[in-house]
Structure 1
Amino acid sequence: MSGAVSDLLAARALFGTSLVFHIVFAAVGVAMPLFMVLAEWRWRRTGDPVHLDVARRWAKGVAILFAVGAVSGTVISFELGLLWPRFMAFAGPIIGMPFSLEGFAFFAEAIFLGIYLYGWDRTGPRLHLAAGAMVALSGAVSAFFVTLANAWMNVPAGFSVDAAGAATGVAPAVAMFPPGWAHEVVHVLLSSYAATGFAVAGIHAFLLLRHGDHAFHRAALRIALGVGALAALLQPLSGDFSARQIARTQPVKLAALEGQFETERGAPLRVGGLPDAAAEQTRFALEIPRGLSLLAFHDPGAEVKGLKAFPRDVWPNTRLVHLAFQVMVGLGSLLALVALAWVVQRVRGREPGPRLLRAIVLASPMGFLALEAGWLVTEWGRQPFTIWGTMRTADAVTPVTNLAAPLVAFTLLYVFLGVMVIVLVRRQIAHVPVDAAAAPHVPPEAAP
């Protein structure tokens, strides 16, 4: 039994490591093309060569990150079939449609990215800008279809299960849009724009602190943080909708998120704290009276079911889920505060000073840390099920043993790829000539 458990943990760890690595490139693939297009659009409107330089350098960065993301995404596709064959056998006929459509979106993104990269002096300005817009749209559509599949795993719909455990009465269109799909899609897209926007802005804010007022980094900061700040400010609203959806469809997950063991009306909202499943209580938390009932049901007196209302064998790991949720909310709140400070400065017509630039640098990794924590909340919170209420993770895993070896091998591979990406992207961004701001003002029609 212990061997089966260790192989299950190794399979989960291998797949989780692959997703932790890939999700960064997936988020960048959604957001960076939009930044790239906005930079070119600014150049074509103003003729400012700085924005042309930003667009060209970001386009090269997009190509690098897209290539690595394609590799890690392909690995995940193979792992779905190799590590979770029973899941794919059951779920394939039900949610095969969004997976297939995601493949079409990926190929469209690759085609238009090729046109964009090699079409600067081979296509007209409108066609070139449209190709970039299609790259940005295809990246978002790809994330849309993948998120639909994940939403179905959290709230399965569009099928019935017969006495033998097989899926019957499959309705692919219903399965493709399960309850709560819109909330999850919006939350994922906003998190991608916020995480990438702050990460890119942090790089340029750091270089502004080092090199003084540099036109290239100033222009790049405005575009990246313009998108990232808007997404960060909208994210709490999206999170509120998602939390209310979880309260209706996955009440045991909500209880784990908040460390709520007892069923009670006017349940408190916990900030911090450490759930103890053995003692069935959450210690050291700051409790806001009636806060959870108010946020989850918009009623301060609403009843919230606690973990003790559900069989213990369907409890997720309460401590891990709660802590990951606290990290996600805490970092997201800090991002929103920095975003608000930047917006206030822009409304006043001021550029961010050294103090705000330092805050942006400190906030730069927070978006991706919050994104990873949010993904862990979603996946850990669904355990012990792969398909909520339908298929347990232990029943979906491959019977193949000795999975620790590929776990170590792929982890080392991801570390190597991560280092190479950092080196290549650094060459595109960090070594901008200091006199770039003094470049001649070239009209778009005259530039290559």
Structure 2
Amino acid sequence: MTMDFDALLLSRLQFAFTIAFHIIFPSFTIGLASYLAVLEGLWLTTRNEAFKTLYLFWIKIFALSFGMGVVSGVVMSYQLGTNWSVFSAVASPVIGPLFAYEVLTAFFLEASFLGVMLFGWKKVGPGLHFAATTLVAVGTVISAFWIIAANSWMQYPEGFTTLADGTLRATDFWQVVFTRTFPERLTHMLLAAYLTTALEVGGASAWRLLRNAADPESRIALRMAIGMFAIVAPLQLFVGDLSGKEVMEVQPAKLAAIEAFWETRTEQPFHVAAWPDRAIEGNRWELSIPRLGSWITAGDAQAEVKGLKDFPPEDRPPVAIVFWAFRVMVGLGVAMIGLGAWGVWLIWRSGGPERHPLYLRAAILMSPMGFVAVIAGWIVAEVGRQPWVITGVLRTRDAVSPIGAGEVSASLLAFMVVYAIVFSVGVLYILRLIAEGPRPVPAQDTEPPLKPRPPGYALGAAPDDPEGGPR
């Protein structure tokens, strides 16, 4: 029994470790692909060379991030078979098609046009190249659609039946895809990706502006990032509130853990900070605002909200980690709103943020916080679902593969060593590129052809031949 528990714990730690690395790359590339499409569209519309310079700079970051995201995603899919084979056997008839559709409709689309996007500046016309960039951006959104659909079904399963052998079968595919929690969760994830990208772009631009306040590309990029903060961050808070109210209806135990509510009562307080303790079934101390908890969670200060004591101890999520992860996520969201409002005020009243080193330093400090918020949000969603891997259907302890702790610990150690080397090198190289900043490139090196190639052009044509003639 101890060995089984150890294998379960190590399998959970391994999946948490790998997904924490993986999620930072899709959350960045989803937003960055859309940002690249906007930059190229603006360049084609205005012919302002600053937009092309920014595009050619950020596409290098995108290519590296996309590659690391693919590699880390493949590792995660293997774990479903090695560490979570029971879950795969039980649930794959329902959510397996969702993963397959993600590959067929999203990954193939991205892979097909990524080459044109990366290497097609001198090979295809401007319209086709812009179409390739746009399709890659659309592919990243479609990928998020299917992954969030699968996860939302695991959070609140609908449209299925359980067979005599314990496996699940879909009875209504549309219900499987469009579960009750899916719209808010997809919107919340996409907005988080756009904010993460905006923070990175804003921080990189601020870094350059501290050294050269007249850098035109960085001035433009920072103002675009500020516009994203100002619009998307408040919208994210609104969508998050809608998602929280949905959680109260479909996952009340998770909601109780998020807010550290132990007793079921009306006029629940809002705990700004607390020390939840499962051993005493209460909070050892708390800093609270009376009645605000019911109003935030239910929209009514008089509403009754369930506490954790209404659920059997074996059905309660870990409270402390969920409680604090939620507050990290929300606190960073409020900071993003403040950063956007501050930036808009500086543009409106003070001539621009590039003249204010304090703001630039704040933007640099906030640049990695999008990733922190995304990981904190994932902890809330996934740890808050425990002890279920499929809510109300399959417990996590029953989903693990019949393997020993030794095998899992060996693979976990191997992952930690490999990730520490490979991803550290990749991230350091990305940071080095960001520190160098965008540099204008001679037009002849990157300009898409504005006229058809002459009839003599062939695959053997010299790439640096401006006439495109045969070698």
| TM beyond 0.5 | yes
* Matching of residues 5-404 of structure 1 within 5 Å: 5-104=5-104, 105-162=106-163, 164-168=165-169, 170-348=171-349, 350-352=351-353, 353-401=356-404, 402=406, 403-404=408-409
Please give the secondary structure, in 2, of the residue aligned with 1:430: helix
Cα deviation for residue 240 of structure 1 reads 0.4
Cα deviation for residue 424 of structure 1 reads 2.7
Q: Structure 1 95/169 Cα, relative in aligned 2: closer, same or farther at 3 Å?
A: closer
Report the counterpart of residue 431 of structure 1 in structure 2.
436
CA offset digits 1:234-254 (Å, max 9, x no partner): 110011011000000011110
Q: Structure 1 53/6 Cα, relative in aligned 2: closer, same or farther at 3 Å?
A: same
CA offset digits 1:78-117 (Å, max 9, x no partner): 1112111111111111122221111120121121111111
CA offset digits 1:345-389 (Å, max 9, x no partner): 334583212221111111112111111001001110011110001
Write the distance in 1 (CA, Å) between the matches of 2:442 and 2:118. Answer: 25
Write the distance in 1 (CA, Å) between the matches of 2:102 and 2:343. Answer: 35
Structure 1 vs Structure 2 CA RMSD? 2.3
- Counterpart contact for 2:122–2:449, Cα < 8 Å: no
CA offset digits 1:245-275 (Å, max 9, x no partner): 0000011110000000000011111111111
Write the distance in 1 (CA, Å) between the matches of 2:450 and 2:225. Answer: 27
Cα deviation for residue 48 of structure 1 reads 2.2
Write the distance in 2 (CA, Å) between the matches of 1:288 and 1:367. Answer: 28
Please give the secondary structure, in 1, of the residue aligned with 2:275: strand
Structure 1 stretches of 4+ with a deviation exceeding 6 A read: 437-440, 442-448
Please state if 1:407 is matched with 2:408: no
Write the distance in 1 (CA, Å) between the matches of 2:49 and 2:389. Answer: 51
- Counterpart contact for 1:94–1:158, Cα < 8 Å: no
Q: Structure 1 264/439 Cα, relative in aligned 2: closer, same or farther at 3 Å?
A: same
Cα deviation for residue 202 of structure 1 reads 1.0
Cα deviation for residue 431 of structure 1 reads 2.3
- Counterpart contact for 1:259–1:275, Cα < 8 Å: yes
Write the distance in 2 (CA, Å) between the matches of 1:222 and 1:446. Answer: 30
Q: Structure 1 326/171 Cα, relative in aligned 2: closer, same or farther at 3 Å?
A: same
- Counterpart contact for 2:94–2:169, Cα < 8 Å: no
Cα deviation for residue 31 of structure 1 reads 0.7
Please give the secondary structure, in 1, of the residue aligned with 2:392: coil
Write the distance in 1 (CA, Å) between the matches of 2:409 and 2:97. Answer: 32
Write the distance in 2 (CA, Å) between the matches of 1:215 and 1:445. Answer: 26
Please give the secondary structure, in 1, of the residue aligned with 2:122: coil
Q: Structure 1 347/129 Cα, relative in aligned 2: closer, same or farther at 3 Å?
A: farther
Aligned length: 446
Q: Structure 1 169/439 Cα, relative in aligned 2: closer, same or farther at 3 Å?
A: closer
- Counterpart contact for 1:53–1:216, Cα < 8 Å: yes
Unaligned runs of 5+ residues in structure 2 are: 452-465, 467-471
Answer with 1 or 2: which has the greater Rg.
2
Please give the secondary structure, in 1, of the residue aligned with 2:189: helix
- Counterpart contact for 1:15–1:76, Cα < 8 Å: yes
CA offset digits 1:41-99 (Å, max 9, x no partner): 22222222222111012112111111111111111111112111111111111122221
CA offset digits 1:402-435 (Å, max 9, x no partner): 211111110122222222222332343322478x
CA offset digits 1:104-148 (Å, max 9, x no partner): 201211211111112112222121111111111110110111011
Please give the secondary structure, in 1, of the residue aligned with 2:283: strand
Please give the secondary structure, in 2, of the residue aligned with 1:382: coil
Please give the secondary structure, in 2, of the residue aligned with 1:279: coil
Q: Structure 1 320/25 Cα, relative in aligned 2: closer, same or farther at 3 Å?
A: same
Write the distance in 2 (CA, Å) between the matches of 1:341 and 1:245. Answer: 32
What is the letter of the counterpart of residue 146 of structure 2? F
- Counterpart contact for 1:50–1:437, Cα < 8 Å: no
Q: Percent identity?
A: 39
Write the distance in 2 (CA, Å) between the matches of 1:438 and 1:22. Answer: 36
Single out whichever of 259-268 and 405-414 deviates more from structure 2: 405-414
Single out whichever of 39-48 and 248-257 deviates more from structure 2: 39-48
Unaligned runs of 5+ residues in structure 1 are: none
- Counterpart contact for 1:35–1:223, Cα < 8 Å: no
